[in-house]
Amino acid sequence: MRLTAVIPATHSPPTLARCLEDVRGADEAPEDLVVVEEPRLVGHAQARNLSVARSTAEVVVFVDSDVVVARDAFVRVRAHFRDDPSLTAVFGSYEDSVGTTGLTARFSDLLHHHVHPLGRASDDVLGRSRQIRGTHLEEWTLEQMLKTDFGDRGIPWIHLLLARREVPTTLNLGCAS
């Protein structure tokens, strides 16, 4: 199975070189690597969308430029799709060993490490997310964390939920058991 790794890097991230090194050095590394550096200063989502058109791979793996993948991440991705050809997507989560030094960044990384797998998505999806790992390298400030988690993620989620008039119990929107 042919894999393309797509790395949005439109903000000239200082962690890009390390990210690329680990992607290239991973076991069963992707056959193609697309680093999206243009147009400058677009967000990660738009950069990802622009890059998909450049790929002819069967599977596209999005890796943020501030993440280093676990050595076996692509082996696990390939195995999931090989074992279940009906899959549409799998996702990973952060390691519990953090790659940051600031208190806010370490808190945020550990929060995401613990919150994402606690959602009430199917055991099938959660089993996969717990196996595919990466380490987050971005040093967050409290202001950046609040803007991203509430302004860029939370508020759009609330608008979407209100528009759909439903509250799904998947991922991190349900109650942890």
DSSP states of 83-134: H-TT------EE-SS-S--SHHHHHHHHHHHHHGGGS-S-HHHHHHHHHSEE
In degrees and rounded to multiples of 5, residue 164 shows phi and psi of -85, -15
Cα(114)–Cα(135) distance, rounded to whole angstroms?
13
d(CA 128, CA 134): 13
pLDDT band at 153 (very low <50, low <70, confident <90, very high): confident
The half-sphere exposure of 110 on its side-chain side, counting CA atoms within 13 A, is: 10
149 or 173, higher pLDDT: 149
Per-residue confidence (pLDDT) for residue 122, from 0 to 100: 47
Percent of the chain residues topping a pLDDT of 70: 86
Q: What pLDDT score does 109 carry?
A: 77
What is the tens place of the pLDDT at every residue in 48-74?
Answer: 888 887 778 889 999 999 999 999 999
Contact (CB, 8 A) for 140 and 104? yes
Instruction: Over range 148-155, report the average pLDDT.
Output: 85
pLDDT at 79: 94
Q: Please tell me the predicted confidence (pLDDT) of residue 164.
A: 86
User: Distance between CA atoms of 30 and 33, rounded to whole angstroms?
Assistant: 7
Per 3-state DSSP, the chain is made up of helix, strand and coil in percentages (nearest 5) of: 45, 15, 40
pLDDT number for residue 65:
93
119-139 pLDDT per residue, tens: 555 444 444 576 888 998 888
Contacts of 163 (CB under 8 A, 6+ apart): none
Query: Region 27-49: what's the mean pLDDT?
Result: 89
**Per-residue pLDDT tens for 101-125?**
888 878 887 777 777 665 555 444 4
